[in-house]
Chains A and B, each alone.
Chain A
């Protein structure tokens, strides 16, 4: 589904990604871990198409087509979704209105007509009950005055509504208490299917107790230096990242 080959990216003159290789297939859950400043969030932003970053080498293929030149919205239309580490506030725009616009813009890009209101309503209702969200929540302005948990839950709700092929969850666990973490994780688990894939970017393995990854990668200095299964995350949690640094330096 997503194949990243030797990806180098920088912001202004600062090199952040130095040759990332990644192969994500449908039905898989990948976790990307690593210390602060290793380039995890940059990788997420580059995949999502944030323009601040310049790709200097390598390529990203999504379903065998290069997405390097596509705008963020074009990538979204193809089914790439990113849950933001810090979701952005848009005062005065309700979640309903926002998600309705997002869905219809995506449909328009795919040459489809607007979703009929009745269908939209049904979908909203369905996803709300699936994620245990009170529908009153939907009439609030996007992230405006939301708690950390509410923001992340809103991200997962949007993911549920948009039904992406590839979902990148950027530090979705940060700032969440254990209950909120469980809610968000169970939401993601419910959305997992064999034809979509999830990339979880995280510092800590605690989220991985609830969303079990098929693969765990360690990003360090803008490169994936180690890949393994779920037990790698446990090992990292126990031993920290220093042993990996040593391994590389030797």
Chain B
């Protein structure tokens, strides 16, 4: 496998059709605000979709209209006005560069902010990136290598055009349009996203990666991701998100569906650092995400997430362990600071025999934030010898934040073994002083303690992501101890 070098990056930047741009610079092709059937049809038309897709969206829109925004999560916020959002924004100008030097320094700065400076990208060897900025997929690398193996990795829009049979078969099969309010909304208006298909028996030779960024003020981002791993295949997928600072609230309602057929394995890692709002609680992204995976016989799905951003997070990456011996894993670090609120966790639905699930959740709260773990372990009557282990640890920094745990366990089969452990601790002054005494200043000491606390989860991330995530944890908690 060839390595991703600086030259490759330069080449990529040279040949790219659309060059990132910033909300201040780029003239966007934005639809008027509001949501109705015309808008849904307009989105579909702009994306040159076939009529079956348009119908699918319209059906979802009908369902969405009947639904109410859920209220049960442990978060408080002003409900967005869904008629005041523009549902589509695509960049329209297409500048080209002859060399890396011509690239807007702002772009490079933003990459740095995103934790993916050009320097670091050099190091991201073996990572193919499908960069989604403002809803339109702009560049896909490593296509050739992937093509050789029969792997499809493209934007969901391309997949709808080029692989309709796969999209038709799997889209909505794990997260149906009717699933919940935000999933229905996403189904109606999703802008773009990624599609990944790994053929039977193929091990994807590289980590697949997508970076998302919200850019256009006032536009929601509705990503749609579909990963299908055929029998006996393997793929590791990395997703990283970030948004530049913005005053008004932005809505992000993504849907991710994973399908792991017999003996397949999908590893899905996320680093999420959308704009969390300022230290006074103004602005920030509303992140209402539905992520779910289906495991057939002997299949395994592993979700790893590092959530540091967003003003409001509502997210429960889940596994349906349908086939016998299926394995589901959820490793999560959720950090909240200032006025952030997170209600996140997972659902492990055990349907097959000998199914196994592991949940490791690490919640870190600082400032005046609220951090909730909400999880469901469901063992169905026909799932014999199912096993679950859950561990939920909370770490508090300061005394104005909150940590909450809502574990739901439903066991309908007597042979099930379910374990749940939970701890809550506080970064103590004694710990800080101990570090100080050894010459480690307070901020660094906190970073060290946090990394230690999160280690079990950080270890599950692919190497280059782990480094990024570690940095992100430090940045997110800057100034959290006065």
Residues of A within 8 A of B (CB): 48-52, 71-73, 76-77, 81-82, 84, 87-93, 97-99, 101-103, 105-106, 109, 141, 158, 162
Closest to A45 in B: B433
Minimal beta-carbon separation of A201 from chain B (angstroms): 15
- Residue in contact with A76 in the complex, picked from B439, B444, B455, CB distance below 8 Å: B439
* 23 A-B pairs (CB sep. < 8 Å): A48-B437, A49-B437, A50-B433, A71-B436, A72-B433, A72-B437, A73-B436, A73-B437, A73-B439, A73-B441, A73-B442, A76-B438, A82-B437, A88-B428, A89-B431, A90-B452, A92-B454, A92-B456, A98-B438, A102-B438, A109-B439, A141-B452, A162-B438
Residues of B within 8 A of A (CB): 428-431, 433-442, 444, 448-449, 451-456
Contact A91:B452 (CB < 8 A) given known A50-B433, A84-B434: yes
The answer to whether B434 and A92 have CB atoms under 8 Å apart is no
The answer to whether A105 and B439 have CB atoms under 8 Å apart is yes
> Which residue among B431, B438, B444, B449 has the maximum number of chain A CB atoms within 10 Å of its CB?
B438
Give the docked Cα–Cα distance between A89 and B444 (Å).
16
Q: Across the interface, which residues of B come within 8 angstroms of A51, CB to CB?
A: 433
Q: Across the interface, which residues of B come within 8 angstroms of A72, CB to CB?
A: 433, 436-437
Give the docked Cα–Cα distance between A82 and B438 (Å).
8
Give the docked Cα–Cα distance between A88 and B432 (Å).
9
Q: Across the interface, which residues of B come within 8 angstroms of A90, CB to CB?
A: 431, 434-435, 448-449, 452
A-B contacts at CB below 8 angstroms, number: 74
Closest to B438 in A: A102
- Residue in contact with A88 in the complex, picked from B430, B439, B441, B455, CB distance below 8 Å: B430
> Which residue among B428, B433, B437, B453 has the maximum number of chain A CB atoms within 10 Å of its CB?
B437
- Residue in contact with A92 in the complex, picked from B436, B439, B455, CB distance below 8 Å: B455
Minimal beta-carbon separation of B362 from chain A (angstroms): 10
The answer to whether B431 and A88 have CB atoms under 8 Å apart is yes
> Which residue among B429, B430, B452, B453 has the maximum number of chain A CB atoms within 10 Å of its CB?
B452
List 9 extra interface pairs beyond A88-B433, A158-B438, CB under 8 A: A49-B436, A51-B433, A71-B436, A76-B436, A88-B428, A90-B449, A92-B453, A105-B444, A109-B439
Minimal beta-carbon separation of B383 from chain A (angstroms): 33
The answer to whether A87 and B438 have CB atoms under 8 Å apart is no
Closest to A51 in B: B433
Q: Across the interface, which residues of B come within 8 angstroms of A82, CB to CB?
A: 437
Minimal beta-carbon separation of B473 from chain A (angstroms): 12
The answer to whether A76 and B452 have CB atoms under 8 Å apart is no
The answer to whether B452 and A105 have CB atoms under 8 Å apart is no
The answer to whether A93 and B452 have CB atoms under 8 Å apart is yes
The answer to whether A101 and B436 have CB atoms under 8 Å apart is no
Q: Across the interface, which residues of A come within 8 angstroms of B454, CB to CB?
A: 92
Q: Across the interface, which residues of B come within 8 angstroms of A88, CB to CB?
A: 428, 430-431, 433-434
Give the docked Cα–Cα distance between A87 and B433 (Å).
11
Minimal beta-carbon separation of B114 from chain A (angstroms): 25
Contact A91:B440 (CB < 8 A) given known A50-B433, A98-B448, A101-B448: no
Closest to A84 in B: B434
Minimal beta-carbon separation of A218 from chain B (angstroms): 26
